[in-house]
Amino acid sequence: MHPIKTGYFLDFDHTLFNTDEFFHRDVRDSFLRFGIDAKCWEESYLAVWPTGYALEKHVEEICRRSGEKLPLNEMKQIVRDSFSDLSRYLFPDVVPFLEAAKEAEAWLGLLSFGDEGWQRYKVTSSGIDTYFDQMFFTAGEGRKAEVVLEHAREFRRIVVVDNSSDELDRIKDAVPDARTIYMNRVPDELTLPDSEVSRLKFLEARRYAGKVSRYWHDVSKTLHGILSV
Ligand SMILES: [Mg+2]
Residue 179 has a pLDDT of: 97
| Segment 23-69, tens digit of pLDDT | 989 989 988 888 888 899 889 999 998 888 888 888 888 888 888 77
Per the confidence metrics, is the pTM higher than 0.75?
yes
Q: How far is the CA of 103 from the centre of ligand 1 (A)?
A: 25
| Segment 171-208, tens digit of pLDDT | 999 999 999 999 999 887 665 555 665 667 777 888 78
- How close are the terminal C-alpha atoms of the chain, in Å? 25
Q: How far is the CA of 111 from the centre of ligand 1 (A)?
A: 9
Residue 198 has a pLDDT of: 65
**Burial of 160: CB neighbours in 10 Å, binned 0-12, 13-18, 19+:** buried
Q: For residue 211, what is the DSSP state?
A: P
Q: How far is the CA of 13 from the centre of ligand 1 (A)?
A: 4
Distance between CA atoms of residues 94 and 129, nearest Å: 12
| Segment 119-170, tens digit of pLDDT | 999 999 999 999 999 999 998 777 999 999 999 999 999 999 999 999 999 9
Ion ligand 1: residues, CB < 5 A: 11, 13-14, 163
In the chain, where the domains are located: 6-17+90-220, 21-82
> Which residue pairs from 80-86 have beta carbons closer than 8 angstroms and sit at least 24 positions apart in sequence?
82/26, 82/30, 83/22, 83/26, 83/27, 83/125, 84/125, 85/125, 85/127, 86/17, 86/22, 86/122, 86/125, 86/126, 86/127
Fold held by 6-17+90-220: Rossmann fold (3.40.50)
Residue 2 has a pLDDT of: 59
Residue 96 has a pLDDT of: 97
Q: How far is the CA of 157 from the centre of ligand 1 (A)?
A: 22
Q: How far is the CA of 163 from the centre of ligand 1 (A)?
A: 5
